[in-house]
Amino acid sequence: MTLAPPLNVLIVEDEVLLAAELGYLVEEVGYHDVGHAMTSREAAELAQALHPDLALIDVHLGDGPTGVEVARLIAEDCGGVALFMTANVKRLPDDFAGACGVIGKPYSEHAVKTALTYLGYCLRHGEAPGRPPIGLNLAPAWAERWGLADLAKAG
C-alpha cells in the first residue's frame, strides 16, 4: 500500500505569530508548510509558483480585505483549494469565492488539526468521511461535491 504524499499548504495570514502557529499545526498533522504570505500580492506570487494543495487564508491581509480575491485566484488559476481562517466570516460571498469552507476565529489548535485531517481525507478521496468536525463550515458546493448533499442544501 502506497501512502499519499503529504499536502502542501500555503498560509496567507498577516499576523506573523498566528501564521507561525498555523505552520506548526500544519506540520503536526503531517503536511508541508510551503510558505507564508502577508499580502494578496505575496499570496498570488507564492500560489502561482508553488501550486499548493491547500491554502489557509485570512480575509483581512496586510493590504486590506483582499483574502477573497486570493481564494478565487487559488481556486481558478492555481489548482489548489482554499480554506478561509477568519474572524470576518460575514465578509465571505455566498459562493465562498471557490473556497471549500471556513473556520471562524478564534479557533483552537484541536479544531484546526481536526479540520486539516478531515480536509486531507476529502481532497485525497473525493468524498467526506462523514460530517465535518466542529468549527469547520463547508461551502455548499464543496459539501455537495464530497457527498454531503444535506449540508449543501442547508448552506
Query: Looking at the predicted structure, is the pLDDT value of residue 127 above 80?
Result: yes
Nearest to 38 by CA among 12, 20, 8, 69: 12
Q: How far apart are CA 133 and CA 2, in angstroms?
A: 27
Residue 116 lies in a domain: yes
For the record, the C-alpha cell of 2 comes out as: 502506497
Domain containing 60: what range?
8-154
32-37 and 136-138 as β-strands: parallel, antiparallel, unpaired?
unpaired
pLDDT digits (tens, 9 = 90+) for 33-52: 999 999 999 999 999 999 99
Residue 42 lies in a domain: yes
Query: Looking at the predicted structure, is the pLDDT value of residue 103 above 60?
Result: yes
pTM: predicted TM-score of the whole model, two decimal places = 0.94
The CATH number given to whatever domain includes residue 146 is 3.40.50.2300
pLDDT at residue number 4: 74
Residue 37 lies in a domain: yes
Whole-number average pLDDT of the chain: 93
Query: Looking at the predicted structure, is the pLDDT value of residue 25 above 80?
Result: yes
Query: Looking at the predicted structure, is the pLDDT value of residue 1 above 60?
Result: no
Residue 2 lies in a domain: no
Give the CA dihedral 116, 120, 81, 8, nearest 10 degrees: 90
Residue 99 lies in a domain: yes
Domain total in the chain: 1
